Amino acid sequence: MQQSNPDNSLTWLKTIINSIYNGIVAINTKGQIILCNQSAAKLVDLPVEEIVGRPIKEVIPGSGLMHVVSMGVPMVSQRLKINDTFVYSNRTPVWENGRIIGAVGVFQEETSVEAISTELAIFKQLTREHDLLIESSYDGIFITDGKGYVAKVNTAYEKVTGIKREEVLGKHMSQMVADGLISHSATLQVLEKREPVTIVQQTRGGIEIMVTSTPIFNDQGEITMVLSNVRDMSRLKHLEAELDKTRSLTERYQQQLKELQLQQLQSSEIILQSPAMIKTYEAAVRVAPFDSTVLIQGESGVGKEVVARLIHKESGRTEKPFIKVNCGAIPENLLETELFGYERGAFTGSNRDGKAGLFEVADGGILFLDEVGELPLNLQVKLLRVLQDKEIKRVGGNRFRTVDVRLVAATNRDLQEMVESGRFREDLFYRLNVIPLYIPPLRERPEDVVALIQHFVKKLNKKYGMNKSLSPAAFKRLYEYHWPGNVRELGNVMENIMIMSESTTIGVEHLPKHFMKDRDSNQEAVVVKDIIRLGEAREQLEQKLIEMALRKTGSLRKAASLLGMDHSTLSRKRNRR
């Protein structure tokens, strides 16, 4: 029986490495690439000569090879992305004389051939010498010469198949089939077809393995050897089962998450059905865990405070204070001391021990600045300093105090327009507007009107021990109303009619008087009470239209657009009053 003895030369080794279907890269302990075959060069889309000698982190970021060098532990079946290609890799330290001299990685592309959701492959180890290269592989390596005689088998092959190398070295592949060691041979098919072949093979012990055999040609086009790598199908099937299990768990968790979010929506004070409000709610929940400043914008009565409290509830500061300050409700001369506090003797009539401001009271929690557009310019400067330095100084004091406060601001004003007109600092606007949230007016989300009406009926019936309902006509009239006061107005109207109606069924006749008018009569009519000069009448009409547009839009810029004029013209006419 003829036995092939391939030359263990460097040329022979390079031929093997460059003929392997999988990408192979080896590094030294410094992270420099010392070996790269053609398949690996194709993956990274660079010539081999431009790869060897370069740091691995530049060529294949996230390869994990330096981790293997430092830890001395193999990393098996790891999935990563090289350029636009997903690959599976086996990475193994290379040992020599009891010390690590580098690491080798074997990379295999995901393919449909494996039919198991692109599961793993393969080689683990390669070294500068072919014996270390073959023995270091995590997968079984099986090499024959060009005639089908077994030349080399690594230890991994013995472990996977249960077949010892002494049983097969020098034996022809047809004899292995005849002896019942394997069911059929991929190597013989390669010699016949002269192309790579992948088969599922059974060993004499009934072990199922996947064998990929690749021909290696010389310059004359002759097959000089066949390189086969062997994988344990039971391992692949186990990974496939684990992947299916993970997918099932992911789907179940996603469903449970949706159910929990729905329960949270239903149990909270935020009643929403419209896509716009759901988007706002989801954005608020998403930003809640982070300490970024949030600016909530929307008309009066839309529920800005409710969203601010939602952010507090979903944040890591939920156990700390939520302090609300209405900047438009506190006199300007008192607002500074309310926010920043004062030291003893700061002014006549002050507390002799001084007083902590709301920034100190809210330390660790959230300070909600409602109607922040009403802040006077001098306090805007101090607020900016707090946002930048996280420090405050009490009125009458000279010591800075560090505060850990997350700021959530809200306004029904057009701060951008206020910046342009010089009434709001631009730098403060950008500091506040890190995470902008917009709450649409109720007239733009009719789905929420329905949900809110039903919510208030249920809530008020429970609160007052009633059992009242709305007639279809009353419900329709409420639904079609434009709600300039938004949710606040809707809540007040619902409480009014639920309490004042003596009937268990509330009809149109029980609604406030302005609901009895035609739906199109919500716009104010022009009333002429006496003869006046035409110019004066025109000016009064202009002022009335400006007031109506501002009430409807809440923004000077939007009102100007609605009236068809430049916002600077509108501002000038408004200031004539």
Phi/psi-derived region of residue 69, left when phi > 0, alpha when psi is between -120 and 50, beta in every other case: alpha
Looking at the fold, whether 293 and 400 belong to one and the same domain comes out as: yes
Looking at the fold, whether 114 and 188 belong to one and the same domain comes out as: no
Domain assignment present for residue 81? The answer is yes
Looking at the fold, whether 77 and 89 belong to one and the same domain comes out as: yes
Summarised one tens digit per residue, pLDDT across range 344-385 is: 766 655 566 678 889 999 999 999 999 999 999 989 999 999
Domain assignment present for residue 5? The answer is no
Report the CATH number that the domain containing residue 451 is assigned in CATH. Answer: 1.10.8.60
Domain assignment present for residue 384? The answer is yes
Domain assignment present for residue 241? The answer is no
Looking at the fold, whether 149 and 230 belong to one and the same domain comes out as: yes
Looking at the fold, whether 360 and 469 belong to one and the same domain comes out as: no
Q: How far apart are CA 513 and CA 350, in angstroms?
A: 49
Looking at the fold, whether 344 and 467 belong to one and the same domain comes out as: no
Looking at the fold, whether 410 and 339 belong to one and the same domain comes out as: yes
525 DSSP assignment: P
What total number of domains does the chain contain? 5
Domain assignment present for residue 496? The answer is yes
Looking at the fold, whether 429 and 319 belong to one and the same domain comes out as: yes
**CA-CA-CA-CA torsion for 340, 341, 344, 347, nearest 10 degrees?**
80
Report the CATH number that the domain containing residue 87 is assigned in CATH. Answer: 3.30.450.20
Report the CATH number that the domain containing residue 390 is assigned in CATH. Answer: 3.40.50.300
Looking at the fold, whether 425 and 455 belong to one and the same domain comes out as: no
Predicted TM-score (pTM) of the model is 0.48
129: CB partners within 8 A, 6+ apart: 13
- Taking only the tens of pLDDT, the chain with its 577 residues reads 444 454 556 778 888 888 888 899 999 999 999 999 999 999 999 999 999 999 999 999 888 899 999 988 898 878 888 888 888 889 999 999 989 999 999 988 865 335 444 444 444 444 456 667 777 777 888 889 888 898 888 888 888 888 888 888 888 999 888 888 888 888 999 999 999 998 888 888 888 888 899 999 988 888 998 998 888 777 666 777 778 777 777 777 666 665 555 455 544 567 778 888 888 988 999 999 999 999 999 988 898 999 999 999 999 999 999 999 998 888 888 888 889 888 876 665 556 667 888 999 999 999 999 999 999 998 999 999 999 999 988 888 888 899 999 999 999 999 999 999 999 999 999 999 999 999 988 888 888 888 899 999 999 999 999 999 999 999 998 988 888 888 899 999 999 999 998 889 998 888 988 877 644 444 445 556 567 777 777 777 887 788 777 767 767 777 777 887 777 677 777 666 5
End position of a domain, from candidates 382, 404, 438:
438
Residue in this structure with the two tokens 């701060």, named with its chain if needed: 415
Looking at the fold, whether 285 and 406 belong to one and the same domain comes out as: yes
Q: How far apart are CA 298 and CA 420, in angstroms?
A: 19
Looking at the fold, whether 173 and 64 belong to one and the same domain comes out as: no
Domain assignment present for residue 3? The answer is no
Angle among Cα 248, 117, 153 to the nearest 5 degrees reads 125
211, two tokens: 């064998």
**SS3 at position 9:** coil
Domain range holding 476? 442-522
Q: Which of 294, 146, 107, 154 is nearest to 226 (CA)?
A: 146
562 DSSP assignment: H
End position of a domain, from candidates 522, 542, 561:
522
Domain assignment present for residue 251? The answer is no
Looking at the fold, whether 457 and 481 belong to one and the same domain comes out as: yes
Domain assignment present for residue 561? The answer is yes
